[in-house]
Amino acid sequence: MTMMREGRPTTPVPVKEAHMAPATATGNRALMLEEALIFEIGSTGTTGVDFGEIPPVASRIGNLARTDSIGLPGLSEQETVRHYTRLSRQNYAIDLGLFPLGSCTMKHNPRLNEKVARMPGFADLHPLAPQSTVQGALAVIHELAQWLVTLTGMHSVAMSPKAGAHGELCGLLAIRAALEARGDARSVVLVPESAHGTNPATAAFCGYKVEDIPATPDGRVDLEALKGRLGPDVAAVMITNPNTCGLFEREMKTISDAVHAAGAFVYCDGANFNAIVGRVRPGDLGVDAMHINLHKTFSTPHGGGGPGSGPVVLSQALTPFAPLPFVERKGDQFVLVEEETAEQHHRSTFGRMVAFHGQMGMFTRALAYILSHGADGLRQVASDAVLNANYILRSLDDVLDAPFGASGPCMHEALFSDKGLAEGFTTLDIAKGLIDEGFHPMTMYFPLVVHGAMLVEPTETESKAALDQFIMALRSLAERAKAGDEALKGAPYHAPRRRLDETLAARKPVLTWADPALAQAAE
């Protein structure tokens, strides 16, 4: 007997160009599946969760029962899994490839850390459980705190801030409390032009007037301008080091000394700590407060925009003002110092920043990351992160303008500008072109001090092969943009969506789904 083989061709047949990508009836493109909203596919009577019998009781809700329809659609478990799996495939992620988003430190997220965070002994603990029942959790916070203090050369660390910007808030509140404790009301915070937007926003959020400090032509803080502005009204200077141009602030210690001499404090934005971890201690540079983004340097996952975690290391001068709660060791016990347990010598705290004790789920991950790397591995992290960035800088500075390329090596990120692109071509076009090449774009138009900035941060967890492919892609895009290849202006062509109309979104905001039938009836 012979097998029937007709109708099962295994050799591709030539196809006419016009037929290469015909539209499909569903809008799907093979593995790229379109997915409707849950409000379009679910119904309020469908559920993917079964509950047992509800015992009959006399209600204690009174006349407050919610009787109207809430309008929350449900899906069965299978439909739910499919909905979110399909949506997930419309995302780019580190797990898919290099994610060179400058200032964001998108490095590999080790899966051991996910496993550890989910251990019931950590994940299934209530924040107000009696302290005798959470000694292991308090030990994690204490152990991580010790590592952070040692790595930064600082005096203490406030663990509760929920993210980088929240950490900035913590640092500035500590500074303000310290100034007020010595009866010294000051009203101004100085922020370099190149700072992250969160710096001025945070300073304003705690009631300070924000003033810019200019940069020198080589991309660093203008020391003379800073010194000239310091005075009795300046509470703090917020500096990012390494800065957002990817450069180390060589004069950091001199800056700190000048700031201290003027009676003010130095806040350091630690977003770029990855460049120096294990090689430089901010405490040696005169820093008074610095937040550490555990979701950057210590690899807790970004999760599509959080959660983050922003512990703040503090100098001796600021330590008494640290927020509640914090963990102290007393003999072989750990004590959570909060409102109930605070003793007299804790009373200078500036207060509480969050309901509970910070991002425990991030602490376990960060501690596992740190223990995995150890002192030797963390030093290697900074070394490789800086090596990778310089490799990109020097592999592309012949086709892309590197505004500070002449002023020496960069730190963990390489900065390019749009200078030299053909008339009408922009950083945005290169970024969107990278999408078609299978990469997440670099940070665009930041820092603001460079025209058409492209800030590339590869991180240490990229192989040389991945870097070489990225360099090849960016080189090709730079050449196309310089040659005026009009096709680039339409990129991306191969992503789940083409360029989106952000102006329309802002002009006529549609922020929630409304049933079109009901919306029409209402008009």
* Interaction residues for another protein, span 73-112 (CB under 8 A): 73-75, 77, 80-81, 83-85, 87-96, 99, 101, 104, 106, 108-110, 112
Measured CA to CA, the distance from residue 263 to residue 257 in angstroms comes to 10
Interacting residue with another protein among 362, 414, 453, 474 (CB under 8 A): 362
Amino acid at 418: D
Task: Specify the DSSP class assigned to residue 445.
Answer: S
Q: Which is nearer to another protein, 433 or 480 (CB)?
A: 433
Structure tokens at 85: 């799996």
Interacting residue with another protein among 28, 29, 48, 424 (CB under 8 A): 48
Interacting residue with another protein among 186, 229, 291, 432 (CB under 8 A): 432
Element of type H or E holding 165: helix 164-181
Measured CA to CA, the distance from residue 510 to residue 508 in angstroms comes to 6
Interacting residue with another protein among 332, 497, 522, 523 (CB under 8 A): 497
Interacting residue with another protein among 239, 314, 381, 414 (CB under 8 A): 381
509 binds another protein (CB under 8 A): yes
Interacting residue with another protein among 185, 483, 504, 519 (CB under 8 A): 504
The residue whose two tokens read 């970004």 is: 302
Q: Which is nearer to another protein, 17 or 502 (CB)?
A: 502
Of the candidates 472, 389, 399, 468, the residue with the CA atom closest to the CA atom of residue 103: 389
Phi, psi of 302 (to 5 degrees): -75, -25
252 binds another protein (CB under 8 A): yes
Of the candidates 324, 356, 284, 313, the residue with the CA atom closest to the CA atom of residue 168: 313
The residues in 112-151 that bind another protein, with binding defined as CB under 8 A, are: 112, 114-130, 132-137, 139-140, 143, 147, 150-151
Q: Which is nearer to another protein, 14 or 45 (CB)?
A: 45
C-alpha 9, offset from chain centre: 49
∠181-187-193 over CA atoms, to 5°? 125
Q: Which is nearer to another protein, 2 or 71 (CB)?
A: 71
Q: Which is nearer to another protein, 14 or 120 (CB)?
A: 120
Please, are residues 176 and 189 in contact by the beta-carbon 8 Å criterion? no
x/- map, 474-493, another protein, by CB under 8 A: ----------------x-x-
56 binds another protein (CB under 8 A): yes
Interacting residue with another protein among 245, 276, 477, 478 (CB under 8 A): 276
SS3 of residue 44 by DSSP: coil
Q: Which is nearer to another protein, 101 or 230 (CB)?
A: 101
Give the nearest distance from C-beta 8 to another protein in angstroms: 33
| Pairing state between β 312-314 and 333-337 | unpaired
Q: Which is nearer to another protein, 104 or 234 (CB)?
A: 104
DSSP 368-384: HHHHHHHHHHHHHHHHH
x/- map, 157-196, another protein, by CB under 8 A: -----xxxxx-xx---x--x-------------------x
Size of the site for another protein (CB under 8 A): 205
Q: Which is nearer to another protein, 73 or 263 (CB)?
A: 73
Give the nearest distance from C-beta 14 to another protein in angstroms: 28
Interacting residue with another protein among 274, 462, 477, 481 (CB under 8 A): 462
**What is the side-by-side order of every strand in the sheet holding 234-240?**
156-158, 312-314, 289-291, 265-269, 234-240, 188-192, 209-213
Element of type H or E holding 335: strand 333-337
The region of 2-10, 295-303, 314-322, 417-425 touching another protein under the rule CB under 8 A is 295-303
Give the nearest distance from C-beta 381 to another protein in angstroms: 7
Measured CA to CA, the distance from residue 180 to residue 178 in angstroms comes to 5
The region of 13-21, 232-240, 476-484, 510-518 touching another protein under the rule CB under 8 A is 510-518
Q: Which is nearer to another protein, 196 or 480 (CB)?
A: 196
Structure tokens at 234: 């300046």
Residue 313 exposed, middle or buried by CB count within 10 Å (0-12, 13-18, 19+): buried
Interacting residue with another protein among 510, 518, 521, 522 (CB under 8 A): 510
Upstream peptide bond of 242 is cis (omega within 30 degrees of 0)? yes
